[in-house]
Amino acid sequence: MSDAKLHLHLHDPTSSLSAEGRALNAVDPAEATLREVEGGVRVDVRLPDSSVSEQRWCVDQVCRKVTGALDLGPVAISFEPGVAQDTALTLAMDRHLASGGALEVIGSPEVAEELESLAPAVNRYASWVDEDPTIRTSIAIAEDVAEWCASRSDVTCEVLDTEQLEALGMNLMLAVGGASTISPPRLVMAHYKPDDPRPPLMLIGKGITFDTGGINVKPYESFVSMMKNDMGGAALAWALFAGLVDAGVDRPLLVVLPTCENPIGEGAMRPGSVVKSYSGQTVRIDHTDAEGRLILADALAYATERYEPERVICFATLTTAALIAYGPYATPVHFAPEALQTALEEASKSLGEDLHFFPRRLWHREANRDHEADLKNTGRLPKHAVRGAGSRNAAHFLAFFTDAPFVHLDIFASTWNWAGDAPGAGSGATGAPLRTLLRALRG
């Protein structure tokens, strides 16, 4: 057990604790004590000598127990000198989210200032993911991005509608969203151009506003009731872009949001169809629930060709395999070069968001080849390994559609509170891994 300790200051008019306090039956290995103080209750939590990720989880478990036992009013948090500033920031961010933004930070003005700077981006991300999918449509995404860009002189916005996508030959996007009237295909792009001649860093995010699974309709057991979160990649890319612009980064940025819903209807794409992509490569639709990689493929090819980005970083709730393979809190990161991997590793370790890194491999690339078309949208390894490596195969599929240096984060497991106990999260969005990305890319 470490000597680092934090204090939660809680207003509870119903408390009848003894003045000397009592131990809380906290989650091992955390230690927590409840004390009656003037105006309410204080919870003293001694942090375990472990990773920040585990400290976050332990503190959150303590808070859940307290919330279940006391009638809480306003919440404040303070930290003893033994708590590192980054640890304090991420623990405060969790409590900020859990309290709906009502948290007060006592005695740590640097933490309070950084929390105030970080919170709007995390709130923007989480609110999009949590919103009703009949409201957070492709149309709403395009309108919100355009409105935000119009308020700035250094950001331009362009939205391509269905007719423009048809003229460009973006047939994969049109195939996915072809049966939707409420959330039809849109390609939303915003370009931040400070006084810097470098090509932009491109951020691209999957924006499936609701995923029925298409004709291969999802069963209830495949999380269909939670599939409003399938635009989490677009929400993350947009929140990251806006957060970096608000922070005044000095490098050009481009955000690309292919968005629509994956509906069931007469115009829905059919399994077995062969579709010619914007890049000219053909793709056989083997399963209509592998739709995210299709809209990303067309958007990647188009935006790479048009803007010639320095690097592309892609975000998508791409595969259930990420949740199955890596658990509910981790984010697999594919193809990160050494310098970016180091920056992400350092930020994630400091801020308590777990990342796992994977390189390119020939067998994962070749798993996407097809006998009828150039590629199929369900990459599979051969024989006994056929059910494995879904996240890695899908990442390699995307790499066929851009010549730029390419990094992909499969956020299916980490963006949603699948296990129900993600630190600071309610029943939906977690806000992960935005705080890590902002730290790593802000430089």
Q: Which residues are catalytic?
A: 218, 293
Cα separation values, 29 from 16, 45, 69, Å: 27, 11, 20
For 400-437, give one letter per residue: b (16+ CB within 10 A) or e: bbbebebbbbbbbbbbbbbeeebbbbeebbbbbbbbbb
Rounded to 10°, the helix 338-351/52-69 angle is 30
Query: What are 32's strand-pairing partners?
Result: 24, 45
Q: What's the count of helices (H) and strands (E) in the chain, helices before strands?
A: 13, 18
DSSP 195: S
Question: For residue 37, how many other CB atoms are within 10 A of its CB?
Answer: 14
Report CA-CA distances (Å) from 129 to 101, 139, 219, 223, 369. 17, 15, 21, 15, 33
Q: How far apart are CA 87 and CA 5, in angstroms?
A: 11
In the 8-state DSSP scheme, what is residue 200?
A: P
Distance in angstroms (rounded) separating the CA atoms of residues 372 and 427: 43
| DSSP state letter for 47 | P
Cis amide prior to 433 (ω within 30 degrees): yes
> CA Rg, the chain, in Å?
23
HSE (side-chain half, CA atoms, 13 Å) at 363: 9
Q: What angle do CA 282, 283, 284 make, to 5 degrees?
A: 125
DSSP assigned state of 369: B
| β partners of residue 205 | 315
DSSP 14: T
* DSSP conformational letter for 222: G
Q: What letter represents residue 91's amino acid?
A: L
DSSP state of 416: B
Q: What is the DSSP letter of 229?
A: G
Indicate the Cα dihedral angle 96, 99, 104, 105, nearest 10°.
-40
Structure tokens belonging to residue 384: 């006994």
